[in-house]
Structure 1
Amino acid sequence: MEFDIVTLSRFQFALTALYHFLFVPLTLGLSILLAVMETVYVMTGRVIWRQMTKFWGTLFGINFVLGVATGIVMEFQFGMNWSYYSNYVGDIFGAPLAIEGLMAFFMEATFVGLFFFGWDKMSKVGHLMATYAVAIGSNFSALWILIANGWMQHPVGAEFNPDTMRMEIVSFFEVLMNHVAQARFVHTVSAGYVTASVFVLGVSAFYLLRGRFVELAKRSMTVAASFGLLASVAVVVLGDESGYLVSENQKMKMAAIEGMWETQPAPASFTLVGIPDMDERTTHFGVHIPWVMGLIGTRSLTQEIPGIAELLVENEERIRSGLIAYDALQDYRATPTGQSVDPEVAARFDEYKADMGYALLLMKYVDDPRDATEDQIIAAAWDTVPYVPVLFFAFRGMVGIGFLNVLLMAGFFYLSARRQLDTRRWPLKVAVAAMALPWIAAELGWIVAEFGRQPWAIDGVLPTVAAVSHLTVPTVLFTIAGFTAMYSVLLVIEVRMMLAAIQKGPAPDDAPERPLFAKSGPVVEKRA
């Protein structure tokens, strides 16, 4: 690693983002499962479902607290490490985050308190509504965050204002309805549902292997297998849609994921396995499946997917075009106050402004992009190629685990339907061993999404090299060390608390008789 501000700031943000995302998927998925379990309790009156809701709710609460703490730290980093980014695109990026905090997070946090402390103070239906509000708030929070992140991947509804030197919203509706953001949202929350389902499945399998809390474990596994099977299939289907959008809007990322150095005749084949080589610009020992990549990436048999070499030539031309826009911008800014901008200058800027971000890539090599040499232009074009081996293997690891999750859930759904969850020990051992897989897939997915966007902070608009704060290397190294130490302690605390709660198991629930509705008479509960 080069110890420069850009690399260290990227490393710090990656560290905190990947750590934060250890908690997000489980929060999203458990919130829905809690709502399902409590719904069954309200409909049937069987106290074991209340016991299940409270037990899994305890694990949800532990995870929720850590997710909130690490998420707040991430948002602070935009001001600490990425101040120019915050200034340049704050009008657009800040709006979804503000809405997330004011609407979704406050809603979620408020009803979490009612969920934990309102069991014997609210009616059944009232408490159930609070649980649903927690689930809606958790997923609503993810929506706004992914709208912000989706805009980074595919910036729409905004334009650069040469008078303020900032990106400004021209259509919030376009930002909100960004098809990339919507696809990322449904794919991400579905992955969270799978994570929670596998977690519940694994813990329940552990109980069955030990012969503890058998009735609770069986019911939990039935809910998890049913919900998880739907979610795991949805992840695969929605992941395919995300791949199609990447091929439309982030062609270099798609080429890097495929290790596709040269443009293939349509329809392109899918490289199942291989070893990408950045030096020789080829993928060794590739095993190809004909037509598949063409169908995934273009939904057709006639449209080509451009390779890295072709995209490099295109990006080099966009850098040259961006230099014209950058030069026009300097002339625009040099206009004395009170005078009108030369119409020729304004027209020249408007014609080439879409490529100005590419000119800013040269700031890695020179202070003024107009001073760049031919070699530096070529080097900047090469910077638009992500490190192919990382994307190539991360994507295949994510996809492989996704299909394993489908098989796992289908198997336990079958066993649940046949009432054979506790008849064989080896499937239960598989469920326990598989608990980490969804988290690995989720982290690999974020690596593909974020590492694949490099060298851009905002794709095609603002390079990462131009987005950082003016900090010193020792300052960033100090904060990295501080975050690493703090997060290590928090992780130990989290794991110990989760393990202690699992080891203890559900508490006996001597639930008092509660009315279904606040003003109705008491309804006698059935005891399981």
Structure 2
Amino acid sequence: MIDMTVVELSRWQFAATAMYHFIFVPLTIGLSVMMAIMESTYVMTGREVWRKATLFWGTLFGVNFAMGVATGIVMEFQFGMNWSYYSHYVGDVFGAPLAIEGLMAFFLEATFIGLFFFGWDRLSKVGHLVVTWLVALGANFSALWILIANGWMQNPVGAKFNPDTMRMEVTDFVAVIFNQVAQAKFVHTVSAGYLCGAVFIFAISSLFLLQQRHVELAKRSMVVAASFGLASALSVVVLGDESGYVATEHQKMKIAAIEASYHTEPAPAPWTVIAIPGPDGGAPSFSIQVPWMGGLITTRSLTQELPGIEELVGRAEDRIREGMVAYDTLQEIRTNPDNAAARARFEEVWPDLGYGLLLKKYRDDVGNATDEEIRMAAEDTVPDVWPLFWTFRIMMGLGFFFIAFFALWFYRASRGWLTTNRPLLWLGFAVLPLPWVAIESGWFIAEFGRQPWVVEGVLPTFYAASGLHFWDLVISLSFFVTLYSILFVIMIMLMVKIIKAGPQDKLFAAEADDQDFVIAALPVTPATKELGS
């Protein structure tokens, strides 16, 4: 029998490293584009304040990028260490976009980041601007290929199970790249990164204005952040709606759980604003609903039903029974590879093989599963409803809050009222952590809502884990949480130090000789000037 404690610890370890890593990713994406916008303004106007702004935000971007790399590397090793059967089963599909992300996007970004930092006095204004935009392009490309890989896990298109190799293999790489789920996730995630960058710049600029420091730089940064933030906030909500619509087509159980919809409602279904779970933690005992809204949002139709959890469990039972046939047929092929009849039958039923594997949690001989075991496996396809229900509403509420927040500041910026209301400036600083709350909530919904699948409908999560021991995972999980927490504290300390120092005229010490590489890599401060001399 599968040790579910080991599986849960493996999930916790990957979740911890992924959530830590994604603290840095959205800020990297957002800052890269915004510092490119500021440098473009510098090149067009020649005003030194825009150069200082680019240098200052670029320094903070560099610290964040380094931490993102440090925390991201571990995740790739975990595919082989903690999820070895996943790597074997779908590595032919998942590995390709992951490799492209590393070879094309990451190296593109990393190479031009070096030119960004060291090329200010070696490149022309236009040449350096091109470098900065290529840094932003690399950051976005990196997100694209990761989300293509993740989107395939949510909607496994362009691939087929090969009974001879016992692996999923690519049949249409174009379909993998242009996967509807992946593209919707990409534009939504990147927009969230832009919003994160805008809030970060706005919050730090608000702090400068409250302290009456670097006022001209702060005011110009706030204008850019307010404009870019409003556009990003609108995009996040609109593209989030598109992402939800795509999920309605391909992940109906996730949508039913998000809406706490236990029973199929007549079309168009209402939208539940708030709800209280029943005594058994199941169907809501009390709810406030808006008629028709749920159907219009999720299906964009007045006639299409939104299936509830109980109906979807029934559909899962049917697919599990077909999966049992697929599993037995696969065993026939493994016994006799020349069995043409078995291969023909497998071609028809292989898409349900993953549902048959759900029974592996309860017995090894899948073909002999009882009705009770089939029902339990079908009920396993329901993720925990109430964490998803409330997390989604937190994320959605923050999305609309940011639209109102940036609309207000866009209006005030257009009137030149950036420094006239200190309570609003304190609010501008206080919103700093909220983008990460919304972003981490979104990833929780995407990944937790997919359970029990590591690849939707193809491979159950418990079946994908490596056969590690309990203490292996306890020790490694404790180590990673401790290490990542230390790295996070170090990053905060570095950023606070840079923010306290404020913008500099030069990014690197000009006094140092070329061979003094270490000294040249230090920000210009009185201490480094003395060291350079």
TM-score for the superposition, normalised by structure 1: 0.94
CA contact (8 A) 2:117 2:507 kept: no
**Matched AA of 1:173:** V
What residue is the counterpart of 2:481 in the other structure?
484
CA 1:277–1:294 in structure 2 vs 1: closer, same or farther (change >3 Å)? same
State how far apart, in whole Å, the 1-side matches of 2:493 and 2:126 are: 34
User: Is 1:158 matched with 2:159?
Assistant: yes
Q: What are the residue-to-residue correspondences of 1:157-176 with 2, within 5 Å?
A: 157-176=158-177
**Matched AA of 1:393:** W
CA contact (8 A) 2:253 2:312 kept: yes
CA contact (8 A) 1:277 1:389 kept: no
CA contact (8 A) 1:271 1:289 kept: yes
CA contact (8 A) 1:96 1:148 kept: yes
| 1:268-313, Cα deviation, whole Å (9 max, x unpaired) | 0110111234835311321101111111111110000000000011
- Residue 56 of structure 1 and its aligned partner are, at CA, apart by 0.3
User: Is 1:37 matched with 2:34?
Assistant: no
State how far apart, in whole Å, the 2-side matches of 1:334 and 1:33 are: 60
**Matched AA of 1:335:** N
| 1:181-214, Cα deviation, whole Å (9 max, x unpaired) | 0000000000000001001000000010111100
- Residue 3 of structure 1 and its aligned partner are, at CA, apart by 6.7
CA 1:48–1:167 in structure 2 vs 1: closer, same or farther (change >3 Å)? same
| 1:462-482, Cα deviation, whole Å (9 max, x unpaired) | 000110111111101111011
- Residue 87 of structure 1 and its aligned partner are, at CA, apart by 0.6
What residue is the counterpart of 1:355 in the other structure?
352
Give the root-mean-square deviation of aligned CA atoms.
1.4
What residue is the counterpart of 1:240 in the other structure?
241
Q: What are the residue-to-residue correspondences of 1:444-523 with 2, within 5 Å?
A: 444-508=441-505
CA contact (8 A) 1:115 1:131 kept: yes
CA contact (8 A) 2:233 2:403 kept: yes
SS of the aligned residue for 1:285 comes to strand
SS of the aligned residue for 1:493 comes to helix
CA contact (8 A) 1:276 1:388 kept: no
State how far apart, in whole Å, the 2-side matches of 1:109 and 1:349 are: 46
What residue is the counterpart of 1:13 in the other structure?
14
**Matched AA of 1:457:** V
CA contact (8 A) 1:278 1:388 kept: no
SS of the aligned residue for 1:52 comes to helix
State how far apart, in whole Å, the 2-side matches of 1:333 and 1:308 are: 36
CA contact (8 A) 1:47 1:509 kept: no
- Residue 510 of structure 1 and its aligned partner are, at CA, apart by 10
SS of the aligned residue for 1:4 comes to helix
- Residue 374 of structure 1 and its aligned partner are, at CA, apart by 2.1
What residue is the counterpart of 2:403 in the other structure?
406
**Matched AA of 1:406:** I
User: Is 1:258 matched with 2:253?
Assistant: no
| 1:121-140, Cα deviation, whole Å (9 max, x unpaired) | 11101111110110000000
Q: Percent identity?
A: 59
User: Is 1:416 matched with 2:445?
Assistant: no
User: Is 1:83 matched with 2:91?
Assistant: no
State how far apart, in whole Å, the 2-side matches of 1:284 and 1:501 are: 52
SS of the aligned residue for 1:21 comes to helix
| 1:355-392, Cα deviation, whole Å (9 max, x unpaired) | 11001011111222223222221111111000001110
What residue is the counterpart of 1:344 in the other structure?
341
Q: What are the residue-to-residue correspondences of 1:304-319 with 2, within 5 Å?
A: 304-319=305-320
User: Is 1:377 matched with 2:374?
Assistant: yes
What residue is the counterpart of 1:119 in the other structure?
120
**Matched AA of 1:255:** A
User: Is 1:205 matched with 2:206?
Assistant: yes
**Matched AA of 2:383:** P
SS of the aligned residue for 2:305 comes to coil
CA contact (8 A) 2:55 2:507 kept: no
- Residue 485 of structure 1 and its aligned partner are, at CA, apart by 1.1
**Matched AA of 2:418:** L
State how far apart, in whole Å, the 2-side matches of 1:200 and 1:371 are: 60
State how far apart, in whole Å, the 1-side matches of 2:278 and 2:225 are: 42
| 1:442-480, Cα deviation, whole Å (9 max, x unpaired) | 000000000000000100000001101111111011110
CA contact (8 A) 2:223 2:413 kept: yes
SS of the aligned residue for 2:431 comes to helix
Q: What are the residue-to-residue correspondences of 1:300-339 with 2, within 5 Å?
A: 300-335=301-336
CA contact (8 A) 1:278 1:387 kept: no
**Matched AA of 1:376:** E
**Matched AA of 2:307:** P
**Matched AA of 1:193:** Y
State how far apart, in whole Å, the 2-side matches of 1:269 and 1:251 are: 16
Q: What are the residue-to-residue correspondences of 1:61-80 with 2, within 5 Å?
A: 61-80=62-81
State how far apart, in whole Å, the 2-side matches of 1:298 and 1:474 are: 46
What residue is the counterpart of 1:95 in the other structure?
96
- Residue 508 of structure 1 and its aligned partner are, at CA, apart by 3.5
State how far apart, in whole Å, the 1-side matches of 2:24 and 2:101 are: 17
CA contact (8 A) 1:3 1:473 kept: no
SS of the aligned residue for 1:22 comes to helix
State how far apart, in whole Å, the 1-side matches of 2:385 and 2:222 are: 39
CA 1:278–1:461 in structure 2 vs 1: closer, same or farther (change >3 Å)? farther
- Residue 351 of structure 1 and its aligned partner are, at CA, apart by 1.9
State how far apart, in whole Å, the 2-side matches of 1:314 and 1:377 are: 12
User: Is 1:366 matched with 2:367?
Assistant: no
Which piece of structure 1 moves more, 377-386 or 367-376? 367-376
Q: What are structure 1's unaligned runs of at least 5 residues?
A: 512-528
State how far apart, in whole Å, the 2-side matches of 1:121 and 1:284 are: 68
What residue is the counterpart of 1:523 in the other structure?
none
SS of the aligned residue for 1:226 comes to helix
CA 1:183–1:510 in structure 2 vs 1: closer, same or farther (change >3 Å)? closer
State how far apart, in whole Å, the 2-side matches of 1:509 and 1:377 are: 67
State how far apart, in whole Å, the 1-side matches of 2:132 and 2:76 are: 27
SS of the aligned residue for 2:285 comes to strand
- Residue 15 of structure 1 and its aligned partner are, at CA, apart by 0.4
| 1:45-99, Cα deviation, whole Å (9 max, x unpaired) | 1111000000000100000000011111111100000010001000100000100
CA 1:30–1:278 in structure 2 vs 1: closer, same or farther (change >3 Å)? farther
CA contact (8 A) 2:4 2:462 kept: no
Q: What are the residue-to-residue correspondences of 1:267-306 with 2, within 5 Å?
A: 267-277=268-278, 279=280, 281-306=282-307
- Residue 509 of structure 1 and its aligned partner are, at CA, apart by 5.0
User: Is 1:48 matched with 2:49?
Assistant: yes
Q: What are structure 2's unaligned runs of at least 5 residues?
A: 509-533
- Residue 4 of structure 1 and its aligned partner are, at CA, apart by 1.3
User: Is 1:396 matched with 2:397?
Assistant: no
What residue is the counterpart of 1:58 in the other structure?
59
State how far apart, in whole Å, the 1-side matches of 2:89 and 2:38 are: 46
SS of the aligned residue for 2:23 comes to coil
What residue is the counterpart of 2:193 in the other structure?
192
User: Please, which of 438, 441, 466 is the counterpart of residue 438 of structure 2?
Assistant: 441
**Matched AA of 1:449:** A
State how far apart, in whole Å, the 1-side matches of 2:311 and 2:241 are: 24
CA 1:501–1:371 in structure 2 vs 1: closer, same or farther (change >3 Å)? same
CA contact (8 A) 1:160 1:166 kept: yes
What residue is the counterpart of 1:524 in the other structure?
none
State how far apart, in whole Å, the 2-side matches of 1:495 and 1:372 are: 53
